[in-house]
Amino acid sequence: MSVDAITARSRGQPERQLIWLLSLACGVLASNVYIAQPLAGPISESLGLNAEVAGLVVTLTQIGYGAGLLLVVPLADRVENRRLILGLVALAGLGLFVAGGTAAATLFLTASLAIGLGSVCVQVLVPYAAHLVCESRRGQTIGIVTAGLMLGIMLARPAASVIAEFLEWHWVFRINSFLMLGLLLTLAARLPRRQPRTRESYLAVIASMLAALGRYRLLRERILYQAALFGGFSLFWTAAPIWLMQPQWGWSQGEIGLFAMTAATGALAAPPAGALADRGRSRLGTAMGLAMAAGGFLLTLWAVPGHAGGALAMSVAAALINAAVTFSFVIGQREIFGLDESARARLNGVFMASFTLVGAAFSALGGWCLARFGWEAVTCVGLAALTPAVLVFLRRHLGAADM
């Protein structure tokens, strides 16, 4: 068991139902960050936002999430975890409730920040689950919880699109706020307490996270790779739904939902990525991720509106971009966790916060770029985002043995 103080209720093997509850909680919380992406067009139109700033509908949620990774997640090493988890779920629920009931742009965007900040609870729940079990079951437990997280991310966009097809977009946020209320009550009844024993101050914890950037070259490289890929991913998933709903395509919210569901097959890249990393082939996996993302963006240039081949090209491109991000994420986390076992949560926080904030910037850029210059410009920006990562990779690994 961990040296952290955990109530007697959780000592020994926890109930299997509790681990599945944490998996479900991660999925629902993760979905909060992505439900606005396929709805950026209808939301911005309803709120009176022009096309150039439509990306803010997605961007501010990601900014809140990124800030939470840096400023809130480290609290899990200092404060009682159950209290922190419940507070974050309540904050996410309040933000969703406000977003689902307002027609004011300023209030909606402020609520979006709260949604992102509260949903960072996901990154508290994963290590919390690991602390509840003995070492022999830790990997299995983290796998179950992470599966819920990935499922929430994959299903968020298509579920939001389908709901918006039959109800107005406000109901997407209202439904998730009801889910947060149910989750809050359930977690309050089931979660055991966990009191960390660390004596480090909050500022010392934050400082150690920032110092890691200077200490570990591998961390900086994995951040560059993931930031490039996640930036392109966020750009694509902000701009593509808006583009596909324009007159030349004329897709409905339901069709956008099916498109997102098909593209979610890219998440199947996680197991082979992990297998490559386990065999010491991380460089090959990274190269494959960068190549898939570049190929996905190039493929969109052959997507002709109004033709079946165009829809197929967009679906394959989306799956490739999703798979690229998954490949890099799995390989990056595995390598980073090997740097310092005692600081895994902090290293992961720096890693995730860095590429999440880059993704937020590219989400904002996606809507603006599409409105001003069209889809070809979006593709060019996506390829440009990959360029620094490709250059660093080639400089470091071209001709290396494990390729």
How confident is residue 135, by pLDDT bands cut at 50, 70 and 90? low
- For residue 144, the model assigns a pLDDT of 67
Residue 181 CA to residue 187 CA, distance in Å, equals: 10
- For residue 342, the model assigns a pLDDT of 62
CB 22 within 8 A of CB 145: yes
CA atoms lying within 13 Å on the CB side of residue 207: 5
Query: Poorest-confidence range of 135-139, 142-146, 164-168, 195-199?
Result: 135-139
List, in sequence order, every residue forming a beta bridge with 195; answer none if it has no partner.
5
- For residue 250, the model assigns a pLDDT of 86
**If we measure between CA atoms, which residue out of 260, 266, 265 comes closest to residue 245?**
260
**Backbone torsions φ then ψ of 5, nearest 5 degrees:** -80, 125
Query: Poorest-confidence range of 77-86, 264-273, 311-320?
Result: 264-273
pTM of the predicted model, to two decimals? 0.74
Q: Span 143-170, mean pLDDT?
A: 80
Q: Structural domains in the chain?
A: 7-199 (1.20.1250.20), 209-403 (1.20.1250.20)
- For residue 138, the model assigns a pLDDT of 53
**If we measure between CA atoms, which residue out of 346, 367, 347, 312 comes closest to residue 77?**
346
How confident is residue 403, by pLDDT bands cut at 50, 70 and 90? very low
Residue 96 CA to residue 88 CA, distance in Å, equals: 12
Looking at the predicted structure, is the pLDDT value of residue 387 above 80? yes
When the pLDDT of each residue in the chain is averaged and rounded to a whole number, the result is 83
Ranges 27-31, 55-59, 73-77, 128-132, most confident: 27-31
Identify the H or E element spanning 357: helix 344-373
Ranges 123-132, 133-142, 158-167, 327-336, most confident: 158-167
Looking at the predicted structure, is the pLDDT value of residue 298 above 90? yes
CA atoms lying within 13 Å on the CB side of residue 202: 7
Give the single-character DSSP code of 103: -
- For residue 25, the model assigns a pLDDT of 94
- For residue 134, the model assigns a pLDDT of 62
CB 1 within 8 A of CB 136: no
**Backbone torsions φ then ψ of 130, nearest 5 degrees:** -65, -30
Residue 124 CA to residue 81 CA, distance in Å, equals: 8
Higher pLDDT, 377 or 4: 377
Summarised one tens digit per residue, pLDDT across range 323-371 is 898 888 878 877 876 787 667 667 778 888 888 788 878 988 888 899 8
Looking at the predicted structure, is the pLDDT value of residue 14 above 60? no
- For residue 89, the model assigns a pLDDT of 97
Looking at the predicted structure, is the pLDDT value of residue 5 above 50? no
Q: Span 367-393, mean pLDDT?
A: 93
Looking at the predicted structure, is the pLDDT value of residue 193 above 50? yes
Q: How far is Cα of residue 23 from the mean position of the Cα atoms in its chain?
A: 15
* Strands annotated E in 57-118: none
Residue 175 CA to residue 160 CA, distance in Å, equals: 10
Residue 175 CA to residue 195 CA, distance in Å, equals: 33
Q: Residue 93 has which token pair?
A: 């629920």
- For residue 51, the model assigns a pLDDT of 65
Residue 230 CA to residue 357 CA, distance in Å, equals: 10
Residue 256: CB partners within 8 Å, gap ≥ 6?
38, 157, 161, 241, 244, 245
Percent of the chain's residues with pLDDT above 70: 86
In one-letter notation, the amino acid at residue 113 is L
Q: How far is Cα of residue 34 from the mean position of the Cα atoms in its chain?
A: 8
In this structure, the strands spanning 5-6 and 194-195 are antiparallel
Summarised one tens digit per residue, pLDDT across range 226-279 is 999 999 998 998 899 889 988 888 888 778 878 877 777 766 776 777 777 777
Residue 325 CA to residue 286 CA, distance in Å, equals: 10
Q: Residue 358 has which token pair?
A: 């880059």
Evaluated on CA atoms 98, 102, 107, 111, the torsion sign reads: positive
How confident is residue 12, by pLDDT bands cut at 50, 70 and 90? very low
Burial of 265 (0-12, 13-18, 19+ CB in 10 A): middle
Q: Span 108-133, mean pLDDT?
A: 86
